[in-house]
Amino acid sequence: MPELPEVEIATRNLRSWLAGERLTRVELPSSRVLRGVAPEALSKLLAGKRVETLERRGKWIRLALSGGAVLHSHLGMTGKWVLRDRSDGPQKYERARFDTRRRSVRYLDPRLFGRLLASPHGEPLAAWDALGPDPLVDGIDARVLGATLARTRRSIKEALMDQSVLAGVGNIQAAEALWRARIHPQLAADRLARDPAAVRSLARAILASIEFTLRDEAGPEITYVEEPGARNPFKVYGRAGEPCPRCSASLKRIVQGGRSTVFCARCQRRSALTSGGGCATRRRT
């Protein structure tokens, strides 16, 4: 279940597998992932084309093909791109297969929240165009972020998950960044925006969490933290009831906007413009 770091890793992998290669075989079994697109039309559009460039913005991947067609991939909650042998048959939950002369790349997606969308002539994708700044592609300008946050009264946690605020931040990265910046997830975004130092701290924390996750998860085949047997590399996500890695208080779980947030009620402060939080230790993570 991918956020920015997982999609970045998928993009790098796909680039190393497909960039410059011609698609010799394309298989697209009909599924919800195609969202109303006729599978045959899409296969026909892609087969024989060369993959020229791959880029990521937020949680979207864009593949530019020879001849001007563009393919957009969103991994939803359970999508992943993996490398298999060309002699391997269909994998469990396989929704797409792209073979080149040397490789066989498969898209697997059990829950079918992912999407594969084609623009035959490179037509823009509204969801891509609506994305806010991407922390890795564009960096985070704390003044711009502050101005954006000042425009909403929602909680900072919910605001961070809005893809027009920062592209690619999801439930895990939002929770992790807020913990790193010692900001309470229920603090109103516009209140936080009144404290430029706190916004700068949050911007740094978002980048630090993304980069930490990238280093931790990089590899040819990602295991998402929710999958059975997966280890959990995160500081607070999925750790309700465990001790805070910084101050040892028991981590709490609350629900915001229908999604769970884990945080430390002792060292994440509820109000901007007040120092405190009762946590004296400062440890690099």
Partner DNA sequence: AACGGAACCTGAAAGC
Partner DNA sequence: TGCTTTCAGGTTCCGT
| Catalytic residue annotation | 2-3, 59, 259
Q: Does 76 bind DNA (CB under 7 A)?
A: yes
Select from 101, 90, 88, 13 the least CA-distant residue to 54. 13
- Minimum gap (Å) between residue 215 Cβ and DNA: 14
- Minimum gap (Å) between residue 9 Cβ and DNA: 10
Residues in CB range of 125: below 8 A, 6 or more apart: 60, 62, 70, 72, 117, 119
When binding is defined by CB under 7 A, the residue of 19, 37, 77, 207 that contacts DNA is: 77
Select from 57, 59, 72 the least CA-distant residue to 170. 59
Hey, which residues between 86 and 145 contact DNA (CB under 7 A)? 110-113, 127
- Minimum gap (Å) between residue 251 Cβ and DNA: 13
Select from 146, 145, 196, 156 the least CA-distant residue to 179. 156
- Minimum gap (Å) between residue 201 Cβ and DNA: 22
Tokens of 193: 């925006």
Tokens of 178: 């807020």
Nearer to DNA, 232 or 285 (CB): 232
Apex 45 CA angle, 40 and 48, nearest 5: 110
Q: Could you count the other beta carbons within 10 Å of the beta carbon of residue 137?
A: 15
Q: Does 152 bind DNA (CB under 7 A)?
A: yes
> Of the listed pieces 61-69, 142-150, 200-208, 220-228, which binds DNA according to CB under 7 A?
220-228
Enumerate binding residues for DNA (CB under 7 A).
1-3, 6, 32, 58-59, 74, 76-77, 110-113, 127, 151-154, 158, 161, 163, 170-172, 224-230, 257-260
